[in-house]
């Protein structure tokens, strides 16, 4: 009996050459259905249609084609089991030796944000995964091909007589990964579209964190990276296509590194505090004020707003030009020629913005190693609202800390009320301090960071760093802290450097000490009732 190959593919790349080799070189009978059978017939190949073989027509508009005992019996029968062979003979079922199946293009279908629920559902393959899983289960006797990239290697092994157990096991492993990835794509899409109704007309709700549901991830490889944090650490970047950084367009520059991406994430999160997107963009509000951020080693070293992108960028760089060298820059609006000229004035690693004008790109082309990334607001809207962090043997998951500040919970706890200008400065500093590594202290004035203290083991140590960086500019400025003051030492240090007002979460058992120090030294203090630790 001639061996049988069952072919049923959505991706028809390489289909005809594979089928020709199987039939003409190796004597396989070709069993197929639907559009695959039509493609093979058009190529002049003899094909037995599944409906003819099973005696059961395709029904339900094509939903049922290959779900039949003559198909699955032929795939699942063990060649060395006499009872299996007796069942095949009794039911006139031929064994199937090769299964070539890839699945309905679900990912491609739902990549369109306007796709309807009904269209997406019809692109969920049923018969394909069933055949793939059956062939993978019975890989001791059946070879299963799920990607055109496997065809040449399989034909070479077939020609050499080396379709051995090791190759079939490898193909089975890839098949199970293929179906797992497919199911994950479906469940991920469903969870991300709560506004769509299910068959009963009620919205689909994703279980809240902590509800006991297992975490399912399906992230394709975006690219291999040269190395990780250090040259001896291999690294790769996985990303959801079109979402978040997976939707960024690199306009020029060297390949992105692991550290570049980590710093870009920090810069983007900070600049989005001020809105993100050029006029007319979709996905996020347009910037209330042009803003720019410079990041080094995940911490902002300069943040500022301005009347225009160039003004904001100049002020952000002026906040700490020493630290800005080799930094990562993010802007929240269109980078025009004036802003681009600022970017050519010192060495930088990366710049990210919603858009770059043609004139800006021409100017920045003079720095070919500078990485320019255009990241549209629509790509940010597609990104998940949760944050993942690895630890040995597992992952931590939390919601992003990206809610706008709720000023209705703020309280002035000092005797002196902050002036209107001081309150504006406190708002700016509070937006910024949540993006600085704990313990975090920010000194700011007039929409510009003046000194930043990050990641120290005690809060007053961070305050010393921030105030030292601010120097004389601290006179009349404000100070923000991401966590409460355990003692009054930070307030007293701030007052000695000329700080006029302080904002902090409050909640310390010794809040009274810090408030008394403010009153004694003439500072205004605002508590927010919410902390913003960043580890």
Residue numbers annotated as active site: 137, 297
Bridge partner residues of 225 (DSSP): 235
d(CA 411, CA 535) in angstroms, rounded, equals: 26
User: In this structure, what DSSP letter does residue 351 have?
Assistant: E
Cα distance between residue 142 and residue 94, in whole Å:
13
Distance of CA 13 to the CA centre of its chain: 29
What is the 3-state secondary structure of 242-296?
A: CCHHHHCEEEECCCCCHHHHHHHHHHHHHHHHHCCCCCCCCCCCCCCCCEEEEEE
* Separation CA 93–CA 95 (nearest Å): 7
Q: Which residue has the tokens 């209705």?
A: 408
- String of b and e for 257-272 (b: at least 16 CB within 10 Å)? bbbbbbbbbbbbbbbb
- Can you tell me whether residue 210 is helix, strand or coil? coil
Angle value at C-alpha 457, between 429 and 410, nearest 5 degrees: 30
DSSP 289-341: S-EEEEEETTEEEEEEE-SSHHHHHHHHHHH-HHHHTTEEEEESS-B-HHHHH
């Amino acid at each position: 009996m001639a061996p049988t190959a069952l072919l049923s593919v959505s991706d028809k790349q390489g289909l005809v050459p594979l089928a020709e080799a199987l039939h003409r070189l190796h004597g396989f009978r070709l069993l197929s259905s639907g559009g695959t059978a039509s493609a093979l017939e058009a190529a002049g190949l003899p094909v037995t249609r599944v409906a003819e073989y099973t005696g059961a027509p395709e029904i339900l508009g094509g939903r049922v084609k290959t779900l039949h005992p003559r198909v699955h019996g032929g795939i699942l029968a063990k060649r060395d089991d006499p009872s299996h062979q007796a069942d095949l003979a009794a039911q006139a079922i031929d064994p199937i030796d090769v299964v070539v199946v890839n699945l309905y293009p679900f990912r491609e279908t739902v990549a369109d944000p306007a796709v309807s629920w009904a269209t997406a559902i019809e692109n969920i393959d049923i018969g394909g995964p069933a055949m793939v899983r059956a062939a993978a289960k019975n890989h001791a006797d059946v070879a299963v091909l799920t990607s055109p990239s496997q065809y040449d290697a399989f034909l070479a092994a077939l020609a050499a007589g080396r379709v051995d157990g090791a190759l079939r096991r490898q193909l089975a492993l890839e098949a199970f990964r293929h179906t797992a990835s497919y199911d994950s794509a479906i469940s991920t899409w469903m969870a991300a579209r709560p506004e769509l109704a299910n068959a009963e007309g009620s919205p689909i709700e994703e279980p809240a964190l902590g509800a006991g549901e297992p975490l399912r991830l399906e992230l394709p490889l975006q690219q291999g990276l040269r190395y990780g944090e250090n040259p001896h650490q291999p690294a790769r970047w996985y990303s959801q296509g079109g979402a978040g950084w997976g939707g960024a367009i690199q306009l020029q520059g060297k390949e992105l590194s692991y550290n570049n991406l980590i710093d870009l994430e920090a810069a983007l999160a900070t600049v989005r505090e001020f809105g993100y997107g050029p006029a007319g963009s979709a996905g996020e509000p347009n910037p209330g004020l042009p803003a720019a951020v410079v990041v080094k080693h995940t911490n902002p070293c300069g943040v500022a707003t301005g009347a225009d992108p160039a003004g904001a960028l100049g002020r952000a760089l002026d906040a700490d030009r020493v630290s800005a060298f080799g930094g990562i820059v993010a802007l929240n609006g269109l980078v025009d020629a004036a802003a681009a000229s600022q970017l050519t004035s010192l060495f930088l690693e990366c710049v990210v913005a919603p858009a770059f004008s043609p004139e800006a790109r021409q100017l920045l082309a003079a720095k070919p190693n500078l990485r320019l990334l255009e990241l549209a607001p629509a790509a940010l809207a597609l990104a998940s609202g949760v944050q993942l962090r690895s630890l040995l043997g597992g992952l931590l998951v939390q919601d992003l800390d990206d809610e706008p500040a709720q000023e209705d919970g703020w309280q002035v706890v000092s005797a002196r009320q902050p002036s209107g200008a001081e309150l504006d400065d406190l708002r700016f500093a509070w937006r910024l301090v949540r993006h600085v590594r704990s313990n975090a202290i920010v000194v700011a004035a007039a929409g510009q960071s003046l000194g930043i203290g990050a990641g120290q083991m005690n809060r007053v140590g961070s305050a010393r760093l921030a105030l030292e960086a601010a120097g004389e500019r601290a006179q009349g400025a404000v100070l923000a802290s991401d966590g409460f003051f355990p003692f009054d030492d930070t307030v007293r240090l701030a007052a000695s450097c000329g700080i006029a007002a302080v904002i902090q979460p409050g909640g310390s058992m010794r809040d009274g000490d810090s408030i008394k120090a403010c009153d004694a030294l003439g500072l205004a203090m605002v508590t927010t009732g919410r902390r913003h630790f960043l580890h």
